[in-house]
Amino acid sequence: MSPLMRKALFWCGSYMLLVLTPLIVALVARPEEARALGAVFGAFLGLLALGVLAMQVVISGRHRWFAESLGFDNILQFHRQTGICALLLVLAHPVVMIATRPEWIEFLDPRDETLRAVTLILLLAATLLLVASSLWRTRFGLSYEWWRALHGMLSLFIVSAGLGHALMVQHYTAGLATSLVLIAVIAVPLLLLLESRLFRVWRNRKRPWRVIDNRQERGDAATLTLEADGDHRLDFAPGQFFWITLGETPFSLQQHPFSIASSAVKSERIAFTAKRLGDFTHTLPDVKPGTLAYIEGPYGAFVPNMASDSGAVLIAGGIGITPIMSILRTLRDQGATVPLWLLYANDTWDEATFRDELMELEEVLPLEVIHVISDPEPEWQGESGMIDEALVRRRLPADDGRREYFICGPEPLMNAAEKALLHIGAAPTRIYSDRFDIV
């Protein structure tokens, strides 16, 4: 079994244990009052929902002690799916309970036990809002900055209110020992939420950076270069990303993730490139040299095995080229001799960011760059259309069982590339994907 698989099994097992802990506490408590099977099932759904919601807080906190081994992209996708599951559990809990004993609808009547009823109603509404705003943020016209703040506040409220509800009901949480165990289990995720959203930012204020260059690139993109404002530095691996806040203080709603585009060999300066796609990225060309910045990171497992003599296949779409540029620039500075292939897809030839530098990199690296243009000019002689299995089989070498594959770009391109690589025999554990749709 590979080390990656062992780590994945360990963390998956740990996740399941922690999610089930509230349910285990309830089973150990063994309340004296017997209930109908439907009521027991409904209560267990609620306790399971509490465990899932608590772990949602943990897995979204960018904690290196587990996220690095699994990959932030994988965790992000898992977080989204389990969020939907948590919503279904939260909704199913009262439905099953009330269906079993209709008189329990009184728990939602604010005329009786107002605080309890209002808390339960707000808990249901907050969970609905949390999931809906995450799935359809752009439809609601909610900026990323305000969504992120709302996400954190709703998470804190939902888990705290869910714990309070479980303790007040007392059926499965009666007794000091049982209550303390449940409080301890739920308090840890809440503390981790405060650590990631508050304490981490407080520590980061002592490590400012400063923008020293802002260069416009092809494809309506801008490259910002930062230098440490002090004697600190940021060591990173090629392909990783960081979260950046521009301005005089790190305590800001404005914090965004960007892949590092510069060489890891020259970590005293860090550069990132972004295309004007959203509210924040539209402002990047106007950022003046001298602007303060705060960096949190690095993060990510989108990192090639530099010791492998089998080389790597890199697949990028549009501005998804940025982490791959970090990989190529690092390999250039290290004098690497491993074979490399790059499939680079763009709508037009003019939009191919870094196309001139890629030509230079082909001269100094054993690198073959294959441009794929979906809307080519009549005189275009290269590959056209989309990256699919036919193109992969035609232009890439056969999989040797050891070669790694790195994909970054829009969702449709990544899905098509992953499917094509699996069809040619590449193992899923050797395919690394870096999606950038979280902003």
224 pLDDT more than 70 = yes
d(CA 250, CA 203): 10
Q: Name the CATH architecture for the domain at 312-434.
A: 3-Layer(aba) Sandwich (3.40)
> Residue 389: CB partners within 8 Å, gap ≥ 6?
419, 420, 423, 424
436 pLDDT more than 70 = no
Q: Name the CATH architecture for the domain at 208-299.
A: Beta Barrel (2.40)
Neighbour-count burial of 24, counting CB atoms closer than 10 A to its CB (0-12 exposed, 13-18 middle, 19+ buried): middle
Reading the block at residue 175, the tokens are: 């007794």
pLDDT score for 79:
84
Tell me: the pLDDT tens digits for 1-45?
A: 556 667 777 878 888 888 888 888 877 776 767 778 888 898 889
Task: Pick the more confident residue, 69 or 130.
Answer: 130
pLDDT score for 117:
85
For residue 341, the surrounding DSSP H or E stretch is strand 340-346
pTM given for the model = 0.81
d(CA 394, CA 32): 69
Domain-wise residue ranges, the chain: 3-203, 208-299, 312-434
Beta strands per DSSP E along 183-339: 208-217, 221-228, 241-246, 256-259, 269-275, 292-299, 312-317
Domains 208-299 and 312-434 share a fold: no
Tell me: the pLDDT tens digits for 376-416?
A: 998 999 999 999 999 999 999 999 989 999 999 999 999 99
d(CA 323, CA 162): 40
Mean pLDDT of the chain: 87
Percent of the chain having pLDDT more than 90? 44
Task: Pick the more confident residue, 323 or 231.
Answer: 323
76 pLDDT more than 80 = no
Tell me: the pLDDT tens digits for 149-172?
A: 888 888 888 888 888 888 887 777
pLDDT score for 197:
82
Beta strands per DSSP E along 29-155: none
Q: What is the CA radius of gyration of the chain?
A: 25
**Average of per-residue pLDDT across 293-313:** 87
Residue located via tokens 């100094």? 364
